[in-house]
Structure 1
């Protein structure tokens, strides 16, 4: 590169192919969703048996699920970094093995602490290594159909929850909860098969953001439409950093000018070479770190607001599925009918994900607006849950909850891609999950604490509903920030157009005067 041209190189994903093999990636992601979050949602059947076996509190038993959920979130950035360092395929295969080992060891647990470490921590760690790289690959393989692809992939969570909930109840009745965990451990070995399906996408290229538009050699038309504004902003930030660095160097040179005049020219040249080498090493280190973990995301205000939405949403996402079966049992509903409530919820969850994912793909409204509406509805439905007491009423609640939950989950990853750009989705997904881990960890225990204090499982649903409505407020803030960004972008484009129109007129006027 010419020394007069200042820039930086960054590896970004080329335009997503939307090709034939993308559907195999979708199949892999479908199964990963089912064998991770689908299993967590169906774990409410185990909750009742473990609660009875160890004669513990609702809070104590709920820590198993909350530790698994929190571990998935906390380890997500590690999974992203490992995928960049090695490969998505190897990380997912390793995660599948860890999942299986954790659940199998949990079958031999002698107390709740051992269940926390095995079914909670080890299983959650393995789920993070499988879920994060697979979802990232799905985002790279799809562009035009990305909302529908995310919705279809997440439908695996619904279908496997629908199938696994009665299956777990049958296995528990036949082999006890320990035998059922052994069979579940064998089932989760299929995560390794999902990893084998992840063929690397070899369509990355070097992009150079130059200071001068004539010399940068970068056509934003080559980038996906979602990323063009992000790439322009990245170039402007790189230019500003380069100018600031030049200013600092200039000031240091001015301060040491008198001293430098009395120094040997050879010493000055050696110092210049050493300074250049240090700059090169720092630039290489920064590039290497950004390749694995894009820590600059924490300076993105819109990303941080969306992450706060994730924290409060996680407080309410996981508690209802865990406590729905115990709540039904406390109302006198028999075992298989209680388990059927989860299946009803999963069936409507599936419909909600596919249908509202298709609606999102039509782009009738902004994605953030659609997500805000569904989150508000989800919180309202949970607040109404304690009014249900009979099986028919609980079935209606389960159907409404599953439908709105599916509509919410179908697009929240797509919204994240719009906030940061698909080229940063891997790191963004890892950081988003890490920040959201607080809500995933504390949600079920806080709900369990309310249940223990009030001796009523309905209070857990009230807590979840309030948390989701609070999370929707952050989405409203994000929508306002998006409008400001779009307004400022439009203003800058108009000013640039005016300048371009005025310059030919000025040239013509000068020629006339001549």
Structure 2
């Protein structure tokens, strides 16, 4: 396989430069290795743009279907005669499960690769839509269109972003912004399309067609091949007896306007695992010789999990039950990132933001319908959120790559504006005014998907991105679970959407405002440590 050939070539190249005398029973670098430096460099282009395009298409399909739920929501209200809060739980479960499962999906992504996880997620995602057609009641939809849908959605969502992040460094924000902007395009397309399909084939027929379209994510999964390139460069000017001194690498995001002390979280050494790579295929242990060098874990291109493989790994796995294996996998989650204050504050911000984010997507069509706006125009409001969200994701991705822009301040300011607009939203009762609100909400909410992975890379480092993103998705999932039902129950109690939108707006506003204090808190912590 290509991933195996790349690793074999890299190891062979290193062995040709470095000669050692010892038997090297463990995976270590000999003290006699001279004039070499093993360095992982993100491609920053090439096949990475194909991966970016595949990420874009996967978001067009999955996010387009997810965010068009508001159109289906109105039909489910009429079909099952449930309350708004009861029916909204379906959408909250799907979004919540997607994000709550983030840490587990991150672990399996590191174990089995982006390609395999995305392919399995496609089967689950499409199957959940087909199964929902036969739903006898809302409770059944909680499982099929809620939990099952969310698991498949998450297994496509997280690996696609991780894979793009691994292929880019200096252009990471722009590439991520382009990749995830497919969500906006998907929302723009699927909201009116779903409305048209419902009129022609009822909501069951619309879900069946969506399931068929979702199977195209298989093509995206195939594209997510692993990054396995490690380059060895001559450093004859800097000779040293300590082999570790030769293994120097470029610092990631050196020019980031919002930096953290990565050395606090660095693991000194780790052996390169020999049974898998970042994004997909398994690598046969026999394909690598025994002289695989030890390199700093931050810069290993595979895997993200940084675990060392025991020599009798294969046999020990055979003796274990599935439960033992699962528990062993869970122990690999890097809990050290929760000691990072900035990361913890980011998690709280993500939770607050998620409380309010899905309210417009789910309730906007029904809000417009109550204001006397027709079904097609109401679905177009959701589409306008999608298309402006696409613009926002690309715009903020581009801006965040500028050296003069502070990414954290940009992110926080966009959320503050987004929250303020949502508070005003329920007072706008005409189509043109609601259209203005959707443009503001769509544009400034685009900052989250575009910059989340980039900010997390700044905060926890690229080698811990999968874990950082998984933890962020988990807290976002809690907010996504709670937000829509709370908004629906507020409507059932008050008889209108005023309190629902105001509560959502306040949550989003606070999620941005609290991030302004992160640098101050970080500086205080650093000053206390310096005194000690």
TM-score under structure 2 length normalisation: 0.76
Q: Deviations over 1:154-193 (max 9, x none)?
A: 1100001101111000000000001101111111111221
In the alignment, what sits opposite 1:55?
A: 81
Alignment correspondent of 1:80: 106
Are the aligned partners of 2:185 and 2:390 in contact in 1 as well (CA < 8 Å)?
Answer: yes
The equivalent of 1:354 in structure 2 is: 394
Query: Quick one: structure 1 residues 454 and 422, their matched pair in 2 at CA, closer, same or farther if it must change by over 3 Å?
Result: same
**How far, CA to CA, are the matches of 1:350 and 1:91 in structure 2?**
26
| Larger CA Rg, structure 1 vs 2 | 1
| 1:192 matches 2:232 | no
Q: Which residue pairs with 1:107 in the alignment?
A: 133
Paired residues for 1:171-190 under 5 Å? 171-190=197-216
Alignment match of 1:371 (pick from 400, 411, 415): 411
Trace 1:55-204 onto structure 2 (pairs within 5 A). 55-203=81-229
Structure 1 counterpart of 2:324 = none
Q: Which residue number in structure 2 is paired with residue 301 of structure 1?
A: 341
- Equivalent pair of 2:95/2:150 in contact (CA under 8 Å): yes
Structure 2 equivalent of residue 384 of structure 1: 424
Name the counterpart of 2:464: 424
Q: In the TM superposition, what is the alpha-carbon distance from 1:365 to its structure 2 partner?
A: 2.3
- Partners in 2 of 1:16 and 1:234 — Cα distance? 21
Question: Which residue is 2:299 aligned to?
Answer: none
Partner of 1:345: 385
Query: In the alignment, what sits opposite 2:264?
Result: 233
In structure 2, do the counterparts of structure 1 residues 364 and 485 end up closer, same or farther at CA, with 3 Å as the change threshold? Answer: farther
Match status 1:467 vs 2:507: yes
Using a 3 Å threshold, how does the CA distance of structure 1 residues 82 and 289 change in structure 2: closer, same or farther? Answer: closer
The Cα shift of 1:316 comes to 1.0
Q: 1:203 to 1:293 in 2, by over 3 A?
A: farther
Unaligned stretches of 5+ residues in structure 1: 207-211, 240-279, 493-514
| More helix per residue | 1
Counterpart in the other structure of 2:245? 217
Shift of the 13–321 alpha-carbon distance from structure 1 to 2, 3 Å rule, reads: farther
1:22 corresponds in structure 2 to 48
Per-residue CA deviation, residues 451-509 of structure 1 (Å, 9 max, x unaligned), is 111111232211110111221233123232344578799x89xxxxxxxxxxxxxxxxx
Query: Aligned partners of 2:246, 2:466: CA distance in 1, in Å?
Result: 23
Indicate the larger mover: 216-225 or 384-393. 216-225
Task: Report if aligned partners of 1:349, 1:405 keep a CA contact under 8 Å in 2.
Answer: yes
Shift of 1:213: 11
1:399-439: CA deviation from partner (whole Å, max 9, x where unpaired): 11111112343222211111111111011111211122210
Q: CA deviation at 1:238?
A: 5.9
Q: Which residue of 1 aligns with 2:516?
A: 476
CA distance in 1, matches of 2:107, 2:505: 34
Aligned to 1:315: 355
Tell whether the 8 Å contact from 1:230 to 1:421 is kept in structure 2 after alignment.
no
Moved more, 474-483 or 65-74: 474-483
Q: Do the aligned partners of residues 20 and 290 (structure 1) sit closer, same or farther apart at CA in structure 2, a change above 3 Å counting?
A: farther
Inter-partner Cα distance in structure 2 for 1:381 and 1:202 = 45
**Structure 2 gaps, min length 5:** 1-19, 30-37, 233-239, 270-308, 317-327
Q: 2:491 aligns with which of 451, 472, 490?
A: 451
Residue 477 of structure 2 corresponds to which residue in structure 1?
Answer: 437
Distance change in 2, residues 1:404/1:396 (3 Å): same
3-state SS of 1:222 partner? coil
Task: Report 1:284-295 matches (<5 A).
Answer: 292-295=332-335
Q: Distance in 2 between matches of 1:41 and 1:479?
A: 34
1:81 Cα deviation from its structure 2 partner: 1.2
Cα deviation, residue 357, structure 1 = 1.6
In structure 1, distance between residues paired with 2:458 and 2:244: 25
The question of whether the paired residues in 1 share the 8 Å contact of 2:107 and 2:329 is answered with no
